[in-house]
Amino acid sequence: MPYASRKNQKERMRRVLDYLGPRFGVVETELHYATPFQLLVATVLSAQCTDKRVNSVTPALFAAYPDAASMATASADELFPYIQSVSYPNSKAAHLSGLARMLVDEFDGTVPASLDDLTRLPGVGRKTANVVLAVAFGQAALAVDTHVFRVAHRLGFVPKTANTPYKVEQALRPLIDDVDVGHAHFWLLLHGRYTCTAQRPKCLDCGLKDFCKGPLQVKAK
């Protein structure tokens, strides 16, 4: 199936979301948090790590450092024991210490609701920022992780030249109405996590077979 026009792609996306929506319903992040700051911290920790693992370490971390003001007083060495079981704990401990200090110094300890401001924080890339904007602030921001990247390519919503998460985000975003963006991220993610898996996708169980272009040929840079 060749890459279609934007109008046709938007119609196809509507059909895909109409299929996925009833299957997954209202979905939020599986990360546990109580405030935008805690969501930001948990999302930083979740990079190349499972939500289950992150949720196992954040209760003790948040009990000791519940907000930016308290975490800003901690060094990376002091944060490390709390997060040592997640992936890349040394760099993530440094990121958490640095972002908490920047939040206190530049944003009065409050998580900013701006992509530009969020991506200035240590350890906060575009995907993390979009998760926070969508989940904590209800903005029409689309986070592209490995699952969304894979599904977008397999379903033919992006051209082969969309070989980075940012390019996929830019191609997908015009196809999704603002009101649906927050849900669409999680629906595409969960479809990729449980059905359209990287290895051995469950094609026989998939109601989107007619949309599929087959195994992913483009790897994210």
- Residue at token pair 């904007």: 133
Same domain, 128 and 50: yes
Could you tell me the CATH number of the domain that includes residue 88? 1.10.340.30
* 216 domain residue, yes or no: no
Task: For 203-214, give the DSSP string.
Answer: GGG-TTGGG---
Q: Report phi then psi at 144, rounded to 5.
A: -115, 110
Mark whether 88 and 121 lie in a shared domain: yes
Known catalytic residue at 202 = no
Instruction: State residue 6's pLDDT score.
Output: 67
- Residue 221 inside a domain? The answer is no
Residue 220 forms part of a structural domain: no
Checking if the pLDDT of 4 tops 60, the result is no
46 shares a domain with 117? yes
| Angstrom distance (rounded) from CA 26 to CA 58 | 24
Number of domain units in the chain: 2
Q: Identify whether residues 15 and 41 lie together within a single domain.
A: no
Residue 161 shares a structural domain with residue 121: no
- 145 part of the active site: yes
pLDDT digits (tens, 9 = 90+) for 127-160: 999 999 999 999 999 999 999 999 999 999 999 8
Domain range holding 187? 6-27+142-211
Question: Assign residue 71 a region: left if phi > 0, alpha if psi is -120 to 50, beta otherwise?
Answer: alpha
Please state, as a whole number, how many other Cβ atoms lie within 10 Å of the Cβ of residue 123: 21
Given 104, 137, 170, the domain boundary residue is 137
**pLDDT cut 90: percent of the chain above it:** 85
Q: Are residues 100 and 132 in the same domain?
A: yes
pLDDT at 7: 73
- The verdict on residue 219 lying in a domain is no
What pTM does this model have?
0.86
For residue 128, tell me if it sits in a domain. Answer: yes
Set 67, 92, 127, 167: catalytic member: 127
Is the domain of 156 the same as that of 132?
A: no
The CATH number for 197's domain is 1.10.1670.10
86 and 112 co-located in one domain = yes
Residue among 52, 145, 178, 205 flagged as catalytic: 145
Is 218 part of a structural domain of the chain? no
Q: Which amino acid is at 91?
A: S
Residue 53 shares a structural domain with residue 124: yes
Same domain (yes/no): 43, 98 = yes
**Which domain-ending residue is among 102, 122, 137?**
137
- Do 18 and 97 lie in one domain? The reply is no
217: in domain: no
Residues 199 and 168 grouped into a single domain = yes
Given 113, 137, 161, the domain boundary residue is 137
What pLDDT digit, counting tens, does each position of 180-194 carry? 998 999 999 999 999
